[in-house]
């Protein structure tokens, strides 16, 4: 019996020893478990993450780099607080998605800070080596990771596609090198170059760790720059840095699009600036998105429903351009003449070289027929003196209308028409939002905010709002 008991105990000990030696994930080290102090982690599991910065800190897992270059770059960034703040503001659009992807893959969250070093979190950033996007893919590496690049779109600038490709690449590099410092150096310099430097040291009987191998100055400074950003994010107060508040919530969402639509019109429908629209849709290289390309738009989460509602209610043409499928050998000059556009403009809008004179079976942008109505944004605007006669039935009590004089062209002559533009008062009820009220009163959120001098989209129950009424001609 004692022998059986001893055998059982030995078996249990062996099983437990095996469990203890197994890494909890593919990035855990069998040789050393890094402590929170060694990775700059600040973990308080008594509450959920307070914001994105707190969430990022909790996932720090790469050992801290302690050398003079890391100190120098930390001092450099700390001495440029405005630049750090601007980069952080740009990062606020993408951090939630990137950290979500890192956590899904069980990868260190420091990697979400890498675009600070790569692109200053500018999705349209370009380098001398023809790298572009948040993660600075060169064309060949982008193609290897299935990032489409043509005259219409460059997915190296797509926040979703480029992030997934970058994390795939970093994952591969870590598996290839077995060390995060070497993996990061490989991301900057190339895995082949790093491997050759390692082999050279090995052949000479020298150490082969990150600190010992030879590398270009740019690569030598690369990991210290990331460590510097990590130091500041880990403890901004220590370095006198103020970080913008970034909530731990998704900034953007995807919206499927089936129509041909101009970028400017899409931004207008989402009630956002073209600049902000392009920040999320930086992969687009033309001023129009063709239906046949079936692009998925990225919009702020609080703008997606606004975009859909405005698109549904939109009156007018969505694009001033149309697709023309040119035949191989067709003259660009003839195409330009056919559609009443200069050859220079045709080349400019379609990114055509000045030396090419004939098409190569391609899709070109040409102006839409002139006899079609132009782009109309009246349905998105606050009703003005030039609005249409479209009237809606509304039984809400109306305030006293005001009179405005306006000049209207009729039959070749100008006549003065007095128009009463009605402005009414609406008392906010429980559950009502600016978006629901904008839809009800056929206006926009921005117009309601401007009309009432609102600084945010928050509405308190019982608040009195000025809202546009029915426009009545007198």
* Residues 6+ away with beta carbon under 8 Å from 289: 257, 260, 261, 262, 263, 266, 295, 297
Tell me how far apart the alpha carbons of residues 204 and 200 are, in angstroms, rounded to a whole number.
6
Number of alpha helices (DSSP H) and beta strands (DSSP E) in the chain: 19, 9
Q: Rg of the Cα trace of the chain? A: 30
Please list the residues that pair with 300 across neighbouring strands. Answer: 252
* Residues 6+ away with beta carbon under 8 Å from 331: 357, 358, 359
β-strands 296-300, 252-256 pairing: antiparallel
Q: Which of 110, 118, 271, 330 is catalytic?
A: 118
Nearest to 188 by CA among 169, 202, 201: 169
3 state SS of 465: strand
Q: What is the DSSP letter of 64?
A: P
Which of 9-42 are b and which e, b meaning 16 or more Cβ less than 10 Å from the residue's Cβ?
eeeeeeeeeeeeeeeeeebeeeeeeeeeeebbbe
Give the Cβ contact number of residue 124 at 10 Å: 14
* Residues 6+ away with beta carbon under 8 Å from 227: 64, 65, 70, 73, 74
Whether 223 contacts 183, CB under 8 Å? no
Give the Cβ contact number of residue 155 at 10 Å: 21
Tell me how far apart the alpha carbons of residues 305 and 299 are, in angstroms, rounded to a whole number.
10
| 118 catalytically annotated | yes
Beta strand residue intervals within 392-463, DSSP E:
402-410, 413-427
**Among all chains, which residue has been given the structure tokens 């040291």?**
201
* Residues 6+ away with beta carbon under 8 Å from 412: none
Q: What is the chain's length?
A: 474
Residue 92, token pair as written in the block = 């606020």
* Residues 6+ away with beta carbon under 8 Å from 161: 147, 155, 283
Q: Which residues are catalytic?
A: 118
């Amino acid at each position: 019996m004692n022998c059986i008991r001893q055998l059982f105990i030995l078996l249990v000990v062996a099983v437990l020893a095996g469990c203890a030696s197994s890494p909890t994930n593919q990035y855990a080290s069998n040789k050393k478990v890094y402590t929170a102090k060694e990775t700059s982690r600040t973990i308080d599991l008594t509450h959920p993450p307070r914001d994105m910065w707190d969430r990022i800190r909790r996932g720090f897992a790469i050992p801290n780099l302690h050398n003079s270059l890391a100190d120098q770059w930390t001092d450099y960034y700390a001495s440029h607080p405005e630049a750090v703040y601007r980069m952080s503001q740009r990062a606020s659009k993408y951090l939630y998605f990137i950290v979500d992807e890192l956590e899904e893959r069980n990868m260190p969250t420091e990697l979400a800070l890498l675009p600070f070093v790569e692109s200053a979190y500018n999705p349209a950033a370009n380098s001398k080596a023809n790298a572009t996007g948040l993660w600075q893919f060169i064309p060949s590496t982008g193609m290897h990771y299935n990032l489409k690049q043509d005259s219409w779109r460059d997915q190296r600038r797509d926040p979703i596609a480029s992030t997934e490709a970058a994390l795939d690449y970093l994952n591969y590099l870590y598996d290839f090198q077995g060390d995060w410092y070497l993996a990061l150096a490989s991301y900057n310099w190339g895995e082949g170059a790093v491997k050759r430097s390692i082999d050279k040291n090995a052949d000479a009987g020298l150490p082969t760790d990150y600190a010992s191998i030879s590398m270009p100055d740019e690569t030598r400074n690369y990991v210290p720059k990331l460590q510097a950003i990590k130091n500041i994010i880990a403890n901004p107060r220590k370095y006198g840095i103020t970080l913008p508040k970034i909530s731990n919530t998704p900034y953007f969402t995807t919206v499927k699009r089936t129509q041909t639509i101009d970028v400017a019109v899409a931004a207008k429908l989402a009630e956002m600036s073209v600049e902000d629209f392009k920040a999320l849709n930086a992969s687009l290289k033309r001023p129009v998105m063709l239906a046949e390309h079936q692009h998925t738009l990225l919009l702020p989460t609080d703008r997606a429903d606004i975009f859909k509602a405005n698109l549904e209610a939109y009156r007018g043409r969505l694009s001033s351009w149309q697709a023309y499928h040119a035949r191989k050998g067709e003259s660009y000059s003839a195409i330009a003449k056919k559609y009443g556009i200069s050859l220079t403009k045709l080349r400019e809008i379609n990114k055509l070289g000045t030396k090419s004179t004939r098409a190569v079976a391609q899709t070109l942008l040409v102006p839409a027929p002139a006899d079609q109505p132009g782009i109309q944004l009246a349905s998105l605007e606050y009703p003005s003196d030039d609005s249409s006669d479209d009237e809606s039935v509304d039984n809400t009590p109306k305030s006293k209308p005001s009179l405005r004089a306006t000049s209207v062209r009729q039959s070749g002559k100008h006549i003065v028409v007095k128009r009463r533009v009605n402005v009414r008062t609406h008392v906010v009820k429980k559950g009502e939002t600016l978006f629901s009220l904008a839809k009800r009163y056929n206006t926009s959120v921005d117009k309601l905010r401007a009309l009432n001098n609102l600084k945010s989209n928050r509405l308190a129950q019982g608040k009195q709002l000025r809202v546009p009424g029915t426009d009545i001609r007198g």
